Structure 1
């Protein structure tokens, strides 16, 4: 053998070894059933006496999670709760009286009351139909609840049951015209004339009917809702008013998703959502005045700015825009404890305005207390959506309300005095507030915030009227706290970047030590040293600091190729210090890094966790700053980490798939290859609730849709594209990629391929599908980015 042949063979062997899979991980391993990782707690609950923590777990390798329990007297013992015991176990969640000494419990058609001190449960009522929404009124002897779309009250002392409303769906029956006569009327009259016994019986029926009408005074008035659905029915604390929502679903055309592998062997059509712009739902808030026995709807005409046009209309100077009262959606009413006042949260259907207003229960008139206007769209933690008011309610003084607002650019907690309109921020700063609630004694707030940093979540306590916050958790990462009913203990679901969720116990004190109660990682999962990605920032084109998670390979295996991962959902955070909901992708990134790739995961414009301006950075142009953030991330890798600018790939699912398409179609000089999974290809075909916020409606703002939809830019494809999609995806329909594939065919593009998954919806569930998809992604990057 000559030296030249020997060295040629040796070089080939070395090249193959360098680029062979040098990892303890494989696609098959990380994409298998997640049970291989271990078992991790979820759905935390306390018992009524604050003596035990209940949670879903799978310590015994059952087919599905079961209920487990840890008692505070012996925290080392994790016990499975038997089915028989689970039915009898009382948890802390429920509707309490003011002092939280009693709780109402509903099981089907039975209403019971549970005494927390004695542990005794007493059955109050058993009715013919299911009971809903039971709660104590101001006089805690009386309990209000809903039954068959109507409001009832029940006295514990006297046992008296009263029906407050007479509401029915459908139309009111039409009265017969006394002037008209038909064959049946003639025959009936003849029968009554000829047969005296029949006449006597009919007369008795008429007398009985009149007696019933006297006894049942509610039959004197009935409110008919027509085809509208009755929702959110609730009784004011003084039982003088009942409010409810009238929901008209409208008649929008839904779209069809064919299921080609139905068990019947026939193709079955799945009736799914309508497309953006096809929303004709209507929601009205109605008031049932119990004393006057009448119903009227809430009047929104006088809300300030109700006829305001959005700023984007200036982009359409040739179109006539009519200033008219916009449609709105109201939340349920929020009553003060004494029942004398009520507030509502009102949203314009274009979602550019949110009003918090007092509601005059006697007339249905609204008076605005706070208006938040956003030319993009109203959102943010605790601010709610559509019919939800989000964080909202009354303080015990019956004159202050609380709510969250993005008025400063970050979602914070506010108080407002309804007697004089004075507004006060209880929290402030470049961080967000999550799920605040009042303590049992109504003297303090408990709340979670990102004050330590956008990548962490901690639990705090603060005085009711504001002041310094006491941090009650200290473990880096995410601390999801479930407070015990007596507020003396915290059950904490905690995780870190490379450590899945575990359950901890801690006394409710800043300096108390957190005790780990579960340790669910499997031995196989623990054998690999999962990376703790670096949290970094880089400069965007517009000067913004863009957050990212960075995975760096060892210098000895670094191949100078890079992969950018784009998270889905748009408004979602994935750059943080806790266990990601994208855990499969996280494990895949560890595999890629083992193979020598540098991986970066970016919280691009539109992502959650960074305030209003970051959230709305994509308004009217998806594929704008959210895409340029990926381009700037690629430049950061080239400039800072020595990545070859010719070998950068990108991938993601859902919104991440959309960005991948835009990257391959419009930034071909930056991205050589990309895998677009379950991707939106044309935003005019996506749903209304999400898309209309960001791009308005297609008929009103076509400019926004055309510049945001990948299908318009398909001619720009130069790199290597993998498209993967589930065929029974009822979120982003398979039709999206079918239309795009036809476009690519017509354009003569031949550097793309498509993988379809007949059994998969938007979120894949079968390990075989996950494995197939990610083997294709890995093959794409290995064969196109490593210059093989």
Structure 2
């Protein structure tokens, strides 16, 4: 079996000058300011000579802005005056590289790159975003909410690109027999109408001849609401996304704040449960702003839009309902003739224009989560043209949906899982798709170089747990490795494309900033934000191990925390949250407190195993979708394989193995104790889902479909359905104001245990914590109780 060691930075490996005090719970659960803040949101200065980044201020949630020379030196924290003069984030450049636009405090600024002169384009209380130059560099467009403006770079006032009104056009008269009768009867009424028509015609003529006037409104109808808009760079076209105004969100669950400033209990609305109202279908409208014309874009031509991927499940459920005499419920589950869609804009842009504004691509997703389409718009015929369909019998990934245009304005690029792994593709409008990358590894975060010749991507090509930046020609070819950090978290390309600012980290080093040439040369670090007391400690390096699946799934990667001979020792399995999350990697973990807790356990003689069970991110489509309609089952198989591996390979005591985790990890702790009683000596379930019917729609319906349509999947996957099997000690911990997994999940399960006359279960509630705890006192109390449970149940046998 192959065992791979995680490598720490040299600075951590060096012996400290003064021995650090013994590790204790108070320290590791304290405010993480003692560790040192992670570098956040780096971006390049407009001239490419410096990099800006943010750091959390000690003892405060405030983020300070820093600037450091790209060549190295001492970072400078900017005072409020310097922040007011700093380059803003996400600068964009015109094609000739004469001007740059950026955002500062929600306003738009434009800089002449030759003279350095900077013009403030907006000064408003609104938040502007998405600045973009037209291909010829004459115009700058930007948005505030769904309203777009156009500014002439040569000077002049900004003007609205379009005025959208979600109401009926007052100039359009509806047929009305009574009104027609009055017009025939009364000459005065006929004259008044004629006068109104003449005034409107004159106003329209004046507006058409005067470019200085605001544009004529587009009336979208009173029955819709605007969800999103997107303006072409040349301000010729606009796409408008709408949904029905009367779309119902469903009944919203409430939670209660018991500790408040007022002294009274106060309620807070959260979200509907899954399936209590599907997302509202969306529609697309194309606006020709120059000719003031509007066209509805029909989605019924998308390939497969009339299919019913859930036909077999639907038939079984409908038959069961009819047999039970529930004809109305059965009728409500009838398949639509055309599946409703939404613009897939939550985790990707949704709508992307070519640089010249002549072409636009839209990414659409079926509400049943089984299809994703990338379509372009034929501007002459005003129709959608499907360019790529990704279909999945389980569900379309919410990640890896990036797409855009090459600089030729005629070639689409996109990420797709069609090969089983997220890879980069390109397709010219008049040709076939071509894979730019290939392999059994993941590719994400594609960034096109300024000259359009090269893509830079993040990938785990070397090993599933090792991430770096790679480059590949935009015409396709071999991936060339640019960085060699193995723990590469994010990157941003310099304005000239010759360098990258990267955030990299390692198991005990929070994300730090470095700059490296785009060819991979000249890497140098710019920050080290760790505090001396933290750096002085010698942490236990997690070893990345490969555990064979006994269920045909292949290799399960895991982190092993251990020292010396483990024979006869107790062990703990830690289960990461989110389901689709990767925690076995060489970067700084989101679970950094838990990692320090694992150090504490190892110092007391434990072995700790942290596994990327099936459903985890980073291992391809099949690993992700293995849990479809069956949550908690393949993952438990993997966890039990991990326990067996600890016993056979390291000799841990099988009677003294505990398990714990939060959120999805809490759910899996419940499934482990309830579906495999006797396997674990104790478990701690933090903020766990106990009944998937009460979780949110977007996440749950992907994996389990709607509960009305697929009740079997919910019954199979919900721990509360297995409550009668509880035999091993269980600690449940939950924040009372958790608006993600509601505390009612734990309270309902607790009541179920009461009714079943179960013993050895406890619950600890935290009145001022949401899903992710933020107060050190709560962190300490939470983990003190977990530690006490393990001491009592794993150490005293």
Please indicate, yes or no, whether the TM-score normalized by the shorter chain is above 0.5.
yes
Residues 1:94 and 2:69 are matched in the alignment: no
Higher alpha-carbon deviation: 244-253 or 581-590: 244-253
Question: Cα 1:148–1:597, aligned 2, differ >3 Å: closer, same or farther?
Answer: closer
Alpha-carbon distance between aligned partners in 2 of 1:549 and 1:413, rounded to the nearest angstrom: 29
Q: Secondary structure at the match of 1:712?
A: helix
Equivalent runs, 1:688-767 vs 2, <5 Å: 688-767=697-776
Give the corresponding residue for 1:36.
34
1:322 to 316, 335, 343: 335
Alpha-carbon distance between aligned partners in 2 of 1:639 and 1:148, rounded to the nearest angstrom: 59
Residues 1:241 and 2:254 are matched in the alignment: no
Question: Cα 1:255–1:554, aligned 2, differ >3 Å: closer, same or farther?
Answer: same
Residues 1:382 and 2:382 are matched in the alignment: no
Give the corresponding residue for 1:510.
520
Residues 1:395 and 2:406 are matched in the alignment: yes
Higher alpha-carbon deviation: 38-47 or 268-277: 38-47
Shift of 1:110: 6.2
What do residues 589-624 of structure 1 show as CA deviations (whole Å, max 9, x unaligned)?
010111111100000000000000001011101111
Q: Secondary structure at the match of 1:93?
A: strand
Question: Cα 1:358–1:579, aligned 2, differ >3 Å: closer, same or farther?
Answer: same
Question: Cα 1:462–1:117, aligned 2, differ >3 Å: closer, same or farther?
Answer: farther
Preserved CA contact (<8 Å) 2:90 2:102 = no
Residues 1:216 and 2:207 are matched in the alignment: yes
Give the corresponding residue for 1:499.
509
Q: Secondary structure at the match of 2:466?
A: coil
Aligned length in residues: 739
Give the corresponding residue for 1:386.
none
Q: Secondary structure at the match of 2:672?
A: helix
Higher alpha-carbon deviation: 113-122 or 605-614: 113-122
Alpha-carbon distance between aligned partners in 1 of 2:493 and 2:405, rounded to the nearest angstrom: 21
Residues 1:367 and 2:378 are matched in the alignment: no
- Structure 2 gap ranges (5+): 1-19, 181-187, 209-213, 320-333, 345-349
Give the corresponding residue for 2:361.
343
Q: Secondary structure at the match of 1:264?
A: coil
1:430 to 427, 432, 440: 440
Preserved CA contact (<8 Å) 1:431 1:451 = yes
Shift of 1:203: 13
Preserved CA contact (<8 Å) 1:115 1:121 = yes
Preserved CA contact (<8 Å) 2:371 2:390 = yes
Give the corresponding residue for 2:596.
587
Alpha-carbon distance between aligned partners in 2 of 1:159 and 1:76, rounded to the nearest angstrom: 41
Question: Cα 1:664–1:129, aligned 2, differ >3 Å: closer, same or farther?
Answer: closer
- CA RMSD between the two structures: 3.0
What do residues 370-406 of structure 1 show as CA deviations (whole Å, max 9, x unaligned)?
21110000116421xxxxxxx2111122322100101
Q: Secondary structure at the match of 2:514?
A: strand
Higher alpha-carbon deviation: 247-256 or 41-50: 247-256
Question: Cα 1:262–1:37, aligned 2, differ >3 Å: closer, same or farther?
Answer: same
What do residues 514-565 of structure 1 show as CA deviations (whole Å, max 9, x unaligned)?
323322222221232111111111122212211111111333x875111000
Higher alpha-carbon deviation: 517-526 or 737-746: 517-526
Q: Secondary structure at the match of 1:452?
A: strand
Preserved CA contact (<8 Å) 2:469 2:488 = no
Higher alpha-carbon deviation: 374-383 or 59-68: 59-68
Give the corresponding residue for 2:424.
413
Question: Cα 1:214–1:419, aligned 2, differ >3 Å: closer, same or farther?
Answer: same
Question: Cα 1:100–1:433, aligned 2, differ >3 Å: closer, same or farther?
Answer: farther
Alpha-carbon distance between aligned partners in 2 of 1:203 and 1:246, rounded to the nearest angstrom: 35
Preserved CA contact (<8 Å) 1:23 1:591 = no
Shift of 1:488: 2.8
Alpha-carbon distance between aligned partners in 1 of 2:139 and 2:200, rounded to the nearest angstrom: 31
Give the corresponding residue for 2:8.
none
Q: Secondary structure at the match of 1:345?
A: strand
Higher alpha-carbon deviation: 699-708 or 280-289: 280-289
Question: Cα 1:476–1:107, aligned 2, differ >3 Å: closer, same or farther?
Answer: closer
Residues 1:459 and 2:433 are matched in the alignment: no
Equivalent runs, 1:273-672 vs 2, <5 Å: 273-277=271-275, 278-310=277-309, 313-314=312-313, 316-317=315-316, 319=318, 322=335, 324-331=337-344, 332-379=350-397, 381-383=399-401, 391-420=402-431, 422-478=432-488, 480-512=490-522, 514-543=523-552, 544-555=554-565, 560-672=569-681
Alpha-carbon distance between aligned partners in 2 of 1:128 and 1:60, rounded to the nearest angstrom: 29
Alpha-carbon distance between aligned partners in 2 of 1:30 and 1:476, rounded to the nearest angstrom: 26
Shift of 1:233: 2.1
Q: Secondary structure at the match of 2:425?
A: strand
Q: Secondary structure at the match of 1:451?
A: strand
Q: Could you say which structure has the larger radius of gyration? A: 1
Preserved CA contact (<8 Å) 1:165 1:288 = no
Alpha-carbon distance between aligned partners in 1 of 2:125 and 2:678, rounded to the nearest angstrom: 69
Alpha-carbon distance between aligned partners in 2 of 1:669 and 1:58, rounded to the nearest angstrom: 45
Preserved CA contact (<8 Å) 2:167 2:219 = no
Alpha-carbon distance between aligned partners in 1 of 2:746 and 2:425, rounded to the nearest angstrom: 45
Preserved CA contact (<8 Å) 2:236 2:290 = yes
What do residues 176-196 of structure 1 show as CA deviations (whole Å, max 9, x unaligned)?
979579xxxxxxx99xxxxxx
Alpha-carbon distance between aligned partners in 2 of 1:398 and 1:607, rounded to the nearest angstrom: 36
Alpha-carbon distance between aligned partners in 1 of 2:39 and 2:127, rounded to the nearest angstrom: 32
Preserved CA contact (<8 Å) 2:577 2:661 = yes
Alpha-carbon distance between aligned partners in 1 of 2:390 and 2:516, rounded to the nearest angstrom: 39
Alpha-carbon distance between aligned partners in 2 of 1:348 and 1:497, rounded to the nearest angstrom: 39
Q: Secondary structure at the match of 1:776?
A: helix
Preserved CA contact (<8 Å) 1:602 1:630 = yes
Shift of 1:39: 3.3
Preserved CA contact (<8 Å) 1:498 1:531 = no
Give the corresponding residue for 2:16.
none
What do residues 39-66 of structure 1 show as CA deviations (whole Å, max 9, x unaligned)?
3322212211111122223688777442
Question: Cα 1:617–1:120, aligned 2, differ >3 Å: closer, same or farther?
Answer: same
1:115 to 112, 116, 121: 112
Alpha-carbon distance between aligned partners in 1 of 2:106 and 2:438, rounded to the nearest angstrom: 46
Preserved CA contact (<8 Å) 2:731 2:761 = yes
Give the corresponding residue for 2:325.
none
Shift of 1:437: 1.3
- Structure 1 gap ranges (5+): 1-21, 182-188, 191-198, 384-390
What do residues 623-672 of structure 1 show as CA deviations (whole Å, max 9, x unaligned)?
11011111111111111111111111100000000000011111012112
What do residues 431-483 of structure 1 show as CA deviations (whole Å, max 9, x unaligned)?
11111111111111111111111111111222220112321212332253333
Greater relative contact order (Cα < 8 A, sep 6+) = 2
Preserved CA contact (<8 Å) 1:145 1:153 = yes
